[in-house]
Structure 1
């Protein structure tokens, strides 16, 4: 008997066989797994330092033999999955127990989650805001996985900005406040020891267009603009912001118009971000500083208008890269030279650079701008030299201003023809040879731009020069031959040689530098032609190369014009409360030859005065503007014609004289300069800008000479002397004075009866652009009768500086109607008691040339009285522009109006002889009854308080 030991190796079934020789026997053996007796988890504790961090736990199941049971199934659970999950991932700080279970066996491990400080962060990490806005920033510690650590100590944190001019930051510890200071970007940093976190800040609008316009608002004191509706309101479309619009209908804001809206400050560089901009109009504000340097970024810009600001510096080169059609920068403080790159703006139709401090010459490339219709270079005293020789290539040019510069136009037949068709005044360059001649009366340019008056004596100056007069040859004899329009010789004037050496250049400053002829008025006639023969005896060596004849061929045609008589009536104006009989007699004794009229006759284009003394007139006002309006009322009511001047004994309130521009009435003290000055206003001339005497009103912007100098040499017939070209102009308030070539020429054209009204407007005469046809007809002797007198209602008053109207009491008079020549910005309206319209018309004012007072203009109309007005007229209203859709009422005459005024009628002639204001009690507290007793004999008062009380038939 044999025995064997069977040992289980692994779980399963097996057959055990016993063999002896050929005999064997077997038995089945089943090996079952040993039962598990224990389970272990390794490690028994686990620490995690970041949310989302993971750790490895391993469970081992062993049997009773201590052997590991492979592939034993284990179930894992956690008692707090908010701390760690069964996958052993950290969820939040804390402790939890992870259990591993196999059958009835279990084991646990402890997991601890505690975030460790790894880095710093700022919330928000990036942001965008607009200037003056703030943003709250929060700092936080992060663990290694970038998760914030709640409650982590930030008490030691500090905050900073890398550009405090863009974004400033204040705060310590865990929070701070960022403030947008200016447009741009900045980085905000929070720091604790060696750790730091950052946030990216951008100061900008929602779009680049917003940024550009918001920057303009911020930098130019937008809160104090006169209109800023919806600006900075990001809930509104940009086209809802005042002055911003979509000009081409494509949906994008592309046009900005904020003229005269009180913008005050620099143009921000961010404006160039507005790449949709087509037009920018910001004139008449207080923009300062320089233009942005990178204007080329405004690639769509076509029109840039920045006139009348205080901008300075040079024009940036980037501007010439734009495709502009309009560039207007006048009346600023720009300086430097005008770049040759101006020619790159070849689509320009409007170029306005006037009133700056540009200097130097004009580049030839200016002539490339063949689309130009308007060119203003005026009032830049530093600009000198010639315009390009081919300037007449600008065939579309309609307006050219060069006044206040030392620029001139090349003198050729082509440029003269070209300039003749252009509005404006320009001086021709002296393009003569070695000899020139100048025929002058009151004033003349070297290129003979000023017409001469027929019948008036003149000074002929002949200038002879040579570059080769090393032998000091004397000025030669000269003959001047005068011919009429048919070529018939009128006379020959001869001048002998002098001991003065022939100079090498022309110098007009002394009569010693020229050969001079004092030409009698009998030779100065329309159609005059002159030939000047130099050195007729042949005494000057040919080596000097002097020009022997002027002109070299043919005859020199002189522009001589015949002026009509100047119809003049003089009145003395006497204060009714303080009558001055001596003054009345003094004025009555004046004649056309009196000294007080010398300047008018010799400095204005007046040949003969048709002189008369009119009635002495009465006034009570101490305001010359009132007197001028009253004189105008008498002129129209009394059917006067010609020019009427009211003379006063003294200045009133520092005002020596007043006149309407382009009119026929004026008031002046008895002073030759004042009288001539005011008549020049009547002939359409504004003031000349004399800065030596401060700012004056009513300045002619086209006046061509700096500081109101006359700009050309004059001739004083009283003592046959030369008048320096540096004297002040008659129309300035500086002394000593004379008349300028600009004003004399303009008045001569104004009075020339051979120029039609339309021809005058196209003549480039300068002066008042709003010419009255009636006034010019008066000046040229073509005034037409006004018609038969009818019963007429006088409606009159003054326009004040704020464009409001002050009505004078109305009255009724028999006179020809006097109605507005044309419409205008002001309105007069009358209604009956049912508010039914009796009349309603628009008009423009008579402009005052001297408006230092409250008034800037006046008006006087005589309206034919319609049936029913006498009983039906209830109210007269004056409406001014700019105050609502059709204007607002600024003054009213009705039954409650109490402005007592006496209209003084002559008992014999029926004419009005004056107006007494405040009739009830004047400034000397004289009662109405006393006033009647003190009136001059033959005067009868008709009192009106507003609406007429008397309706004479």
Structure 2
């Protein structure tokens, strides 16, 4: 910039504003809006005393507004809008007497506008909206000042009070009050009859005694946060005092000579007894009806802004209100309003629903404390309050009385305090989740009394102390998750007596230490996660052999050697948690030579001999280097180790090596360099022969814009799976081994929504008797997530991107998310809290290079990406343990008819069913029972079939999921099947004869391959080839259904 310039207008800038800007003392106008500036506004800007205009709007500036700007005494225009400025407005700016325009909207400023601003008499434009909590006091002088400005935009500090008072006016017959001067006429609340306002214009006293009020008090009257005196006595008011009043610190409350009553709940009565001056009616409210309870619930949880409030507050039977189920007598038994945009607090009246069995309110915006009155729900079986914003301690009453409760989910809130000992009273409890809160203190030993418990998750809290030995009493426990706390001590030996335990997660508890108890080997664990602790596995052969039976594990071995060492690495390796090698893939040998004291002697020659089944198969001679021998193991530099590439044909199961350091004996023995690894015998290398990785790639064509380039792409992927760029990260970062890829024939879809395409991929697997994994792909544009995967499972969908494909295939190998860039489906046992890979990786490309531990794991949403030792090892073991055999040997058409039953749950957990088809396909039924059930019935309600299953988990989506089963049909179903219902914890969905969701599946009768999924398909008079616009060949079979298969479908 030119020091003598009078004006600067610059675009294309980035970085911070330099302090040297203060030297431009003659500058009159500085316009730096619409740039990429970051950092704070330097105080040196205050030295530009000639400025009349300063425009720093539309950047990324942060920090407080510097008070030094008050030195710009000639300033007329100050524009700081659309940044990230924080803190309060400096009161010093009130001295800018010539200021005409002040734009500070769209920042993160807070607190009231200072009184000093009242001196800005020249101001004609002032915009301060869209900030964190910046507001103008609602006092008479501030209101008059803003009105005099003329052009202003921003909130008053008391706007919420005005809204509450307006609701009071409406609900209590305001137009007929005896006195109502100023009400709803002026923003100055001090001028409203009966209102005394504080310094910011907020209501401090409300005295409407003897004023002709007739009606009810609004439920949110307690939102008058500064209210200390409330007098509504001698009025014709009726109903209950709002429970929201309990949030106020009233010193006086008078509602005598009214029809108001005080709720009998303990929390309200305790609050009432604490008011110094209290005059009331001495009338306790009678127990409310279920309808009255639900009305109070609606009012307390922002009912007008719910996503769905069908029939609420109407005269319809309660069973017809959205989310409500009733028993035969009309009493409420279920309240299911999950993911419905509820906000506010749960009213204590909810504890009066004496027959309530299911309370499901997860994934809303509910806040405040969980009311202890919920402990009165003696019939409650299932309580789901997870994924809200509840705070405070868990009320002991919630645990001590709910003796029928079987499932309690309170995770993903902000609860604090200790776990109440009364939890042990819940004798019927089978599932308990308190994950991801702020709970503190020890795990109470009373938990050992919950002998019916099958799942307990206390992860992601701040629990301290040892794991109580009483947990050993929970012999029915199948999954125990205590990860990410501050627990200390050893694992109690009593855990070995929990005979049903299959999953144990105690990782990221730095204070846990010592060897694992021997009794664990009596368990049939599948998962043992203890990374981020000082726990270790005994090195004896028996314990190590037991560890080999766990496909998902993270535990160090107790015995660790010192001095020189060597390892083989492929994608990544860890000294504490060794990663097995994939057979047939090249590896890098790293030999770390160390001396006992500093020396200038350089790393000597190294010879490594490789043996298979006792026979020497390979020798690697590594020449000496000029690098001085270090005194400790140095992994971060290839120059500090002796290295050699080992060909894949040598890397086979049964591999053993002997490393000779300085084979010619040239080093001074006083250096203490170990000259042989191992000291005697041969060192075994863990090499695993991987099963063939079978992958079928499905090119989906969108019927509205069929881009055939995806067909050519998938054909190329199948032709060259070893070298295709889209498989580069998959082959490098996952334990693949031999990759065999088949290109499916093109499949037409009337939807380009990735969730629909994922569902179609599942259906193809089911209908074709799919072997291995199926990767659905479509050219952009697509709607929805760029990648989805069944975790774990066969079905994957991804846009054509190497990173996305590798990430989704990782999910299919049962890998969760690493904690970076995503808060959903995190693996809380992931050992590196920043999502990094944590160990040194190696990239063989371009001569080879080390990959630092700071790289992010491919299962995170951060980069640059590589793979961690944790995920590579777990994916490898998962493949070896869980690669499922194929259901059929070919795609041959089956002779007997079956039903394709497919559907899922949406983002809120609500179930749905796709139209059912009669198909010729091999049976595919769930391999375990679960919380969802499919039932087929006759017209008179008779049951034809019924089975339960666990809804598959879909990673990387919006919480929705899908499934597909093939059920062999029985004789007579073609005339009797009238309805199919999918039911689950969050509701049900039914297909029946009235369902009209037409859909066609195209199938090649010769190969058995599916060729299309068309919703609202073309008229039946058109051929299949016409319907798909030539995207598929003629002669395809058309399977049609509107919901329940018609007679024609059975005849096919």
TM-score normalised by L of structure 1: 0.62
User: Secondary structure in 2 aligned to 1:749?
Assistant: helix
Distance in 2 between residues matched to 1:190 and 1:751, nearest whole Å = 69
Distance in 2 between residues matched to 1:292 and 1:455, nearest whole Å = 52
Distance in 1 between residues matched to 2:692 and 2:802, nearest whole Å = 19
Distance in 1 between residues matched to 2:502 and 2:901, nearest whole Å = 40
* 1:514–1:660 CA distance, 2 compared to 1 (3 A): same
Indicate the RMSD between aligned Cα atoms, in angstroms.
5.0
Write 1 or 2 for the structure with the bigger share of helix.
2
**Aligned mate of 1:899, from 991, 994, 997:** 997
Distance in 1 between residues matched to 2:1014 and 2:576, nearest whole Å = 53
1:890 pairs with 2:1016? no
Residue 777 of structure 1 aligns with which residue?
885
1:816 pairs with 2:922? yes
1:542 pairs with 2:669? yes
Residue 983 of structure 2 aligns with which residue?
880
1:938 pairs with 2:1034? yes
Is contact 1:301–1:324 with CA below 8 Å preserved after alignment? Answer: yes
1:242 pairs with 2:377? yes
Q: How does 1:554-569 map to 2 (within 5 A)?
A: 554-569=681-696
Distance in 2 between residues matched to 1:821 and 1:309, nearest whole Å = 28
Residue 527 of structure 1 aligns with which residue?
654
Residue 628 of structure 1 aligns with which residue?
758
User: Secondary structure in 2 aligned to 1:425?
Assistant: strand
Deviation at 1:852, TM superposition (A): 1.6
Deviation at 1:596, TM superposition (A): 1.0
Tell me how many residue pairs correspond in the alignment. Answer: 698
Is contact 2:392–2:414 with CA below 8 Å preserved after alignment? Answer: yes
* 1:511–1:907 CA distance, 2 compared to 1 (3 A): same
Residue 586 of structure 2 aligns with which residue?
457
* 1:893–1:347 CA distance, 2 compared to 1 (3 A): closer
Distance in 1 between residues matched to 2:1035 and 2:426, nearest whole Å = 72
Deviations 1:204-259 (A, max 9, x none): xxxxxxxxxxxxxxx9964456976599xxxxxx99943589xxxxxxxxxx9967
User: Secondary structure in 1 aligned to 2:635?
Assistant: coil
Distance in 2 between residues matched to 1:345 and 1:908, nearest whole Å = 58
Distance in 2 between residues matched to 1:427 and 1:828, nearest whole Å = 40
Residue 32 of structure 1 aligns with which residue?
none
1:739 pairs with 2:857? no
1:826 pairs with 2:932? yes
Is contact 1:302–1:324 with CA below 8 Å preserved after alignment? Answer: no
Q: How does 1:363-762 map to 2 (within 5 A)?
A: 363=489, 381=508, 383-384=509-510, 387-389=513-515, 391-392=517-518, 401-403=528-530, 405-409=532-536, 412-413=539-540, 416-417=544-545, 419-420=547-548, 425-428=553-556, 431-447=560-576, 449-466=578-595, 468-485=596-613, 487-590=614-717, 591=719, 592=721, 593-650=723-780, 652-682=782-812, 684-690=813-819, 692-697=820-825, 699-719=826-846, 720-752=848-880, 760=881
Deviation at 1:530, TM superposition (A): 0.8
Distance in 2 between residues matched to 1:321 and 1:640, nearest whole Å = 49
* 1:369–1:302 CA distance, 2 compared to 1 (3 A): farther
* 1:301–1:831 CA distance, 2 compared to 1 (3 A): closer
**Aligned mate of 1:794, from 899, 905, 926:** 899
**Aligned mate of 1:912, from 1010, 1015, 1035:** 1010
Residue 284 of structure 1 aligns with which residue?
410
Is contact 1:792–1:812 with CA below 8 Å preserved after alignment? Answer: yes
Residue 963 of structure 2 aligns with which residue?
858
Distance in 2 between residues matched to 1:813 and 1:844, nearest whole Å = 23
Deviation at 1:343, TM superposition (A): 7.8
Distance in 1 between residues matched to 2:352 and 2:580, nearest whole Å = 49
Deviation at 1:914, TM superposition (A): 0.7
* 1:259–1:741 CA distance, 2 compared to 1 (3 A): same
Q: How does 1:17-166 map to 2 (within 5 A)?
A: none
Q: What residue ranges of structure 2 are gaps of 5+ in the alignment?
A: 1-247, 278-344, 358-372
Deviations 1:4-36 (A, max 9, x none): xxxxxxxxxxxxxxxxxxxxxxxxxxxxxxxxx
Distance in 1 between residues matched to 2:423 and 2:746, nearest whole Å = 70
Is contact 1:304–1:324 with CA below 8 Å preserved after alignment? Answer: no
* 1:358–1:500 CA distance, 2 compared to 1 (3 A): same
* 1:310–1:183 CA distance, 2 compared to 1 (3 A): farther
Is contact 2:490–2:535 with CA below 8 Å preserved after alignment? Answer: no
* 1:230–1:849 CA distance, 2 compared to 1 (3 A): closer
1:951 pairs with 2:1047? no
* 1:857–1:507 CA distance, 2 compared to 1 (3 A): farther
Deviation at 1:629, TM superposition (A): 2.3
Is contact 2:1004–2:1011 with CA below 8 Å preserved after alignment? Answer: yes
Write 1 or 2 for the structure with the bigger share of strand.
1
**Aligned mate of 1:308, from 425, 434, 438:** 434
Distance in 2 between residues matched to 1:586 and 1:324, nearest whole Å = 59
Which one scores higher on RCO, CA 8 angstroms, separation ≥ 6? 1
Deviation at 1:708, TM superposition (A): 2.9
User: Secondary structure in 2 aligned to 1:563?
Assistant: coil
Is contact 2:375–2:401 with CA below 8 Å preserved after alignment? Answer: no
Q: What residue ranges of structure 1 are gaps of 5+ in the alignment?
A: 1-164, 192-218, 232-237, 246-255, 753-759, 761-770
Is contact 1:827–1:843 with CA below 8 Å preserved after alignment? Answer: yes
Distance in 2 between residues matched to 1:573 and 1:463, nearest whole Å = 51
Distance in 1 between residues matched to 2:896 and 2:441, nearest whole Å = 63
* 1:527–1:469 CA distance, 2 compared to 1 (3 A): same
Distance in 2 between residues matched to 1:859 and 1:385, nearest whole Å = 45
Is contact 2:759–2:963 with CA below 8 Å preserved after alignment? Answer: yes
Deviation at 1:559, TM superposition (A): 1.6
TM-score normalised by L of structure 2: 0.57
